[in-house]
Structure 1
Amino acid sequence: MWPTYKENEEKQKNGFLVDAQEMILVLARIAIISTVITILLITYLITRLTYANLFPIILQKGIEFLGPIFVKFGQWISTRWDVFPRDICDTLSQLQRNATPHSWLYTEHLLEATYGPSWQNLFVKFDGKEPIGSGCCAQVYKAWIDQNATWESQISHFADTKVLNGSDKLASASPRTRNLQTIAVKILHPGIEGQLKRDIAIMRGFCKCVTYFIPKLHWLSFTDCIDEFARIMENQVDMRLEASNLVKFSANFSKRNDIVFPYPYTHLTRRRILVESFHEGAPISDYLEYDDAILQRRLAKIGITMVFQMIFKDNFIHCDLHPGNILVEKTIAKASLFNTFWRVITSDYAEHDSRLIILDCGLVVSLNERCRQNLRDVFYSVLTRNVNVSTVMSELFSAMINHRVKQDGSFSSVILSMLVIEGLGRCLDPKIDIFTEILPYVFSSVMYNK
């Protein structure tokens, strides 16, 4: 049956009301952002001569108040000790794992809405009502799952979030047959999708205004970068995609014992909830001022080679590698004849076996062939000129403006990730030889391309 004229008119009216409401929310958001930024600028001018140590704390609170996109930028700033003041970096590093969490009441409500009123038969115990970590988009709890608990109806691997009906109940195993497994439960913050959508619309409008008044910046593809950033941020708020990324990363690094990715329980993961294996470790930032130079050198090498493998070999790149998403698992090296011999002949012998645990794999990009070729050229320049990656990147962006060369948005995401991990690597080991580490990856990539 065709819709009547009144039905069409009603739909148009509802659509207009929704658009008008969204416009009001965007304008209100612009007013809030402008007000907070103005307050931060005034605070900086007031405190820089008197109470300078207060400004980093006020800046952190302001960034948290503004929401996930600003928290993401704050996380990036906190990794660049070589660019920003150390007190600001140290304070903003709290945003990596200790951003303001949402309430346990919301978490409990979401668990019940997703898994039904019997969800506690599956998630037997939570390690308190406070999360063990909270980032810009979600927070993580340590919990225990009963692997013997079963669904009375089939669970699809990537079913959408929905309230279970009467036939979808959890059957709990008896206490004697419970098989408990420690897991991590990642819960998306409430209302984050709408806020991301509005903030990205504001950023896109701001970039268009800037490029209109400064035409040279058009060649940096700011709007393309925003579109790419919007895509990967939208992916980050869908936990099913992060679970899929974890599976692929685990396969890519299956032959390396020094890199670990959590294992996702895909049959329990939903759009707003990710269930994955739990891994104990300390944030890599704890090792920046560690007294074991050999261990620091090893961690820096693992991190640098990991990113090079993602870029040049796998073309599947984690774009959110701030220190809060990198844990260090340290164990005592096993006693063996080989280890004893190695300890005698080398000064780089480590008393501990260490590996990196990589978390928060929602922000992922892959490059097209043109961008990969550009990256090969960039790192070839690094090899031949013996300079820092950040120096070459600065020259690259200047050349793009001067010669009016547009670049794909994902290229900028990879460059940003590379700068973060290079800064982290040099903080761990200022003498790290990036050229030696990059050579086999660039060489193999060039040979494969030929």
Structure 2
Amino acid sequence: MRQECLCLQRFTEDFASFNQIRVPEPFPDLVRHNILVETFEEGISIGQIVQDINQPAELKVQLADIGVDILLQMVFVNNFVHADLHPGNLIVQNMDKFHETEQADSDIMMDRVEGIPEDYCQVSQKKEVLRLVLLDCGITSSLGPEDRKKFQEVFTAVVKGEGETVADLFLSKSAVNNCRDPALFRIEMAQLVKDARQNLISISKIKVAELMNAVFAVLSRHQIQLEANFATIILAMAMLEGLGRSLNPDLDLLEKARPVLLGSYLSDRNVGS
């Protein structure tokens, strides 16, 4: 429980500037090895929203975008990843405010037509933002400096379709490399990445986590060791990417990851305010 308390404090710090992401706040003075005391967070499981066909598409798209922000920030910026982010560990807050705002926006338009002062309309638009809350933060994963650099290089090469570069990175940087046929390994990796991109109508339809998993299967077949934390992070990516696509089938993870991979990530939508 003390370890989970530390994780909660770290996530709170990491997402302090994201007003659409929240983490329960622990009370360290009350925490013991078998007791964790934290703020109670009310909300609705995101899994319920995924299954509710009556929820508006705009709501689901916003939640998918917040989920991607969480993923990219954890993996590529903070290097501190919640490794158990299934739908049950994500709850949504301020959904009622979201629906009220839809109605209020309509009312405000009517008010303006009827001559209500503009400053009154501005006050009426103030609202609490839609928010995702991360729960059960005790299982986390991070990469060491060299592994983190390699992960980002591999991920970048995969999404750019550079299969031979992926192969070369693993051949040159893996701690355990028992590959007996490097040339064949390079061919298979290049073909894998090429097929993944050519068999789709749009690059936005690529399931990045599935593609990375297929890359790691080739590594296993050629006896090139995969760092354990790589697998943990890919699993976390797969859960959040799958959840995001269930909310928004048109979610383009590659496009959203582009500024991250270029080293200039900043979520204007969530920072500040």
Normalising to structure 2: TM-score of the pair? 0.66
- In structure 2, the partner of 1:423 is 242
1:313 paired with 2:77, answer yes
Specify the SS of the correspondent of 2:36.
Answer: strand
- In structure 1, the partner of 2:145 is 369
- In structure 2, the partner of 1:444 is 263
Specify the SS of the correspondent of 1:328.
Answer: strand
Return the alpha-carbon distance in structure 1 between the equivalents of residues 150 and 85 of structure 2.
Answer: 22
Please give the per-residue CA displacement for 1:179-228, whole angstroms capped at 9, x wherever unaligned: xxxxxxxxxxxxxxxxxxxxxxxxxxxxxxxxxxxxxxxxxxxxxxxxxx
**How do 1:37-186 residues align onto structure 2 when only pairs under 5 Å count?**
none
Contact 1:383–1:435 (8 Å) recurs in 2: no
- In structure 2, the partner of 1:49 is none
Instruction: Kindly state the Cα deviation for residue 370 of structure 1 after the two structures are TM-superposed.
Output: 3.2
- In structure 2, the partner of 1:382 is 159
1:273 paired with 2:1, answer no
1:264 paired with 2:41, answer no
What is the aligned-residue identity percentage?
Answer: 36
Instruction: Kindly state the Cα deviation for residue 362 of structure 1 after the two structures are TM-superposed.
Output: 0.3
Please give the per-residue CA displacement for 1:217-270, whole angstroms capped at 9, x wherever unaligned: xxxxxxxxxxxxxxxxxxxxxx01111111111111110100000110110111
AA aligned opposite 1:240: R
Specify the SS of the correspondent of 1:357.
Answer: strand
- In structure 1, the partner of 2:136 is 360
C-alpha change, 1:352 and 1:432, in structure 2 (3 Å) is farther
Instruction: Kindly state the Cα deviation for residue 389 of structure 1 after the two structures are TM-superposed.
Output: 1.0
Instruction: Kindly state the Cα deviation for residue 307 of structure 1 after the two structures are TM-superposed.
Output: 1.1
**How do 1:309-348 residues align onto structure 2 when only pairs under 5 Å count?**
309-329=73-93, 330-332=95-97
- Mark the runs of 5 or more structure 2 residues left unpaired by the alignment: 110-126, 162-196, 198-202, 266-273
Return the alpha-carbon distance in structure 2 between the equivalents of residues 267 and 415 of structure 1.
Answer: 35
C-alpha change, 1:378 and 1:288, in structure 2 (3 Å) is farther
AA aligned opposite 1:275: V
Contact 1:317–1:364 (8 Å) recurs in 2: yes
- In structure 2, the partner of 1:404 is 223
Structure whose alpha-carbon radius of gyration is higher: 1
AA aligned opposite 1:250: T
AA aligned opposite 2:58: I
AA aligned opposite 2:146: R
Number of matched pairs? 197
Specify the SS of the correspondent of 1:277.
Answer: coil
AA aligned opposite 2:257: I
Specify the SS of the correspondent of 1:423.
Answer: helix
AA aligned opposite 1:403: H
406-415 vs 263-272, which moves further? 406-415
Superposed CA RMSD in Å reads: 2.4
C-alpha change, 1:375 and 1:265, in structure 2 (3 Å) is same
Instruction: Kindly state the Cα deviation for residue 410 of structure 1 after the two structures are TM-superposed.
Output: 1.3
Return the alpha-carbon distance in structure 1 between the equivalents of residues 249 and 57 of structure 2.
Answer: 10
1:255 paired with 2:17, answer yes
**Quick one: higher RCO (CA 8 Å, sep 6+), 1 or 2?**
2
Return the alpha-carbon distance in structure 1 between the equivalents of residues 88 and 231 of structure 2.
Answer: 21
- In structure 1, the partner of 2:187 is none
- Mark the runs of 5 or more structure 1 residues left unpaired by the alignment: 1-238, 341-350
Specify the SS of the correspondent of 1:432.
Answer: coil
C-alpha change, 1:445 and 1:398, in structure 2 (3 Å) is farther
Please give the per-residue CA displacement for 1:57-104, whole angstroms capped at 9, x wherever unaligned: xxxxxxxxxxxxxxxxxxxxxxxxxxxxxxxxxxxxxxxxxxxxxxxx
C-alpha change, 1:396 and 1:406, in structure 2 (3 Å) is same
Return the alpha-carbon distance in structure 1 between the equivalents of residues 220 and 34 of structure 2.
Answer: 40
Return the alpha-carbon distance in structure 2 between the equivalents of residues 252 and 265 of structure 1.
Answer: 18
C-alpha change, 1:363 and 1:409, in structure 2 (3 Å) is same
Specify the SS of the correspondent of 1:327.
Answer: strand
Contact 1:376–1:442 (8 Å) recurs in 2: yes
- In structure 2, the partner of 1:148 is none
Contact 2:220–2:226 (8 Å) recurs in 1: no
C-alpha change, 1:280 and 1:331, in structure 2 (3 Å) is same
Contact 1:382–1:392 (8 Å) recurs in 2: no
